[in-house]
């Protein structure tokens, strides 16, 4: 008896795609890619996880407003620009409400006429967007575009929701790791620079009869005004105080 695909088998196949995609993202984090590179990889992977997706992109809300941070096709930038221009559209709605938006463009003309017109002109027929929240600096939506007029199914929306939820967790952990690593490097630099800074303080205290507090404040002030790192200021002061090595004048 011939077996036909069911929703359960379709779900199983998509779940396997998601698992593989998340494993790839994890590998990327271990290579410490930049956020832009990582999200680009995420977009390419989600093309495999959700059927009938022709393009993908990520909208992030920054200080200057929303922007298409990454995408798999330049057409995405052109379509998204209309949303940003009028301040309304499915991606912005998804990011603001925290809800998934799935639309067949022919049915969305009254709700988002500018976006629908731009998407239709680009040959697109369906749109799916899910909120993406990494932290207060990086938040927005992941957007999927299709040339087919199917409007995406509830299963597709569930798959994307599951995927973005997992991605959010990974990205938050990744951001915390990078922040911790940066702080560790700063502390290491500070510890390595401390003896040099103490020497520079001592030179100021001897030459100008400064207190330890005033000597350190003087170093900090010079560092800020010259836009030079504190340990570099200290190194330069020590070098100037010691002067060039004396030459041998023995005759």
Percent of residues, the chain, with pLDDT higher than 90: 28
Give yes or no for residue 29 having a pLDDT over 60: no
Q: Is 91 exposed, middle or buried (0-12, 13-18, 19+ CB in 10 A)?
A: buried
Which pLDDT does position 240 carry in this prediction?
82
CA-CA distance, 240 to 213, in Å (whole number)?
22
pLDDT in tens, 87-106: 999 999 999 999 999 999 88
Which pLDDT does position 1 carry in this prediction?
41
User: Measured on CA atoms in the order 87, 93, 94, 95, is the torsion positive or negative?
Assistant: positive
Length in residues, the chain = 251
127 pLDDT band (50/70/90 cuts)? very high
Give yes or no for residue 202 having a pLDDT over 90: no
Q: Which fold has domain 188-242?
A: Arc Repressor Mutant, subunit A (1.10.10)
pLDDT in tens, 38-86: 889 888 888 887 888 999 999 999 888 999 999 999 999 999 999 999 9
Give yes or no for residue 186 having a pLDDT over 70: no
Task: Over range 118-141, report the average pLDDT.
Answer: 90
pTM over 0.85: no
Which pLDDT does position 247 carry in this prediction?
41
Percent of residues, the chain, with pLDDT higher than 70: 79
Residue 19 three-state SS: helix
Exposure string for 11-28, b = 16+ CB within 10 A, e = fewer: eeebeebbeebbeebeeb
Least confident of 21-30, 71-80, 187-196: 21-30
CA-CA distance, 83 to 146, in Å (whole number)?
17
Which pLDDT does position 245 carry in this prediction?
47
Least confident of 60-74, 119-133, 134-148, 180-194: 180-194
65 against 247, higher pLDDT: 65
* CATH tag, 7-180: 3.30.450.40
Which pLDDT does position 168 carry in this prediction?
83
Give yes or no for residue 124 having a pLDDT over 60: yes
Domain positions in the chain are: 7-180, 188-242
- Beta 55-62 vs 139-146: how paired, if at all? antiparallel
Distance of CA 174 to the CA centre of its chain: 10
Residue 165, Cβ neighbours under 10 Å: how many? 13
Starting at the edge strand that comes first in sequence, how are the strands of the sheet with 101-104 ordered? 65-71, 55-62, 139-146, 126-133, 101-104
Exposure string for 117-155, b = 16+ CB within 10 A, e = fewer: ebbeeeebbbbbbbbbbbeeebbbbbbbbbeeeebbbee
Sequence-ordered alpha helix ranges (H) in 31-73: 35-49
Which pLDDT does position 25 carry in this prediction?
58
């Amino acid at each position: 008896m011939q077996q036909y695909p069911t929703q359960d088998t379709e779900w199983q196949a998509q779940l396997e795609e998601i698992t593989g995609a998340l494993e790839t993202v994890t590998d990327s984090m271990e290579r410490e890619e930049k956020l832009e590179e990582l999200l680009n990889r995420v977009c390419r992977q989600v093309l495999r996880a959700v059927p009938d997706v022709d393009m993908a992109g990520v909208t992030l809300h920054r200080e200057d407003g929303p922007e298409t941070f990454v995408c798999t096709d330049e057409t995405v930038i052109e379509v998204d620009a209309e949303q940003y221009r009028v301040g309304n559209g499915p991606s912005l709605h998804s990011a603001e409400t925290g809800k998934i938006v799935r639309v067949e463009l022919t049915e969305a003309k009254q709700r988002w006429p500018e976006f629908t017109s731009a998407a239709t002109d680009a040959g697109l027929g369906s749109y799916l967007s899910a909120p993406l929240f990494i932290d207060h600096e990086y938040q927005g939506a992941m957007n999927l575009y299709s040339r087919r007029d199917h409007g995406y199914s509830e299963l597709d929306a569930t798959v994307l929701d599951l995927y973005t939820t997992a991605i959010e967790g990974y990205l938050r952990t990744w951001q915390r790791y990078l922040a911790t690593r940066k702080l560790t490097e700063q502390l290491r630099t500070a510890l390595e620079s401390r003896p040099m800074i103490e020497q520079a303080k001592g030179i100021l205290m001897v030459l100008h009869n400064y207190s330890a507090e005033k000597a350190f404040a003087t170093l900090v002030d010079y560092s800020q005004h010259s836009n030079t790192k504190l340990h570099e200021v200290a190194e330069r002061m020590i070098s100037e105080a010691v002067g060039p090595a004396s030459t041998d004048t023995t005759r």
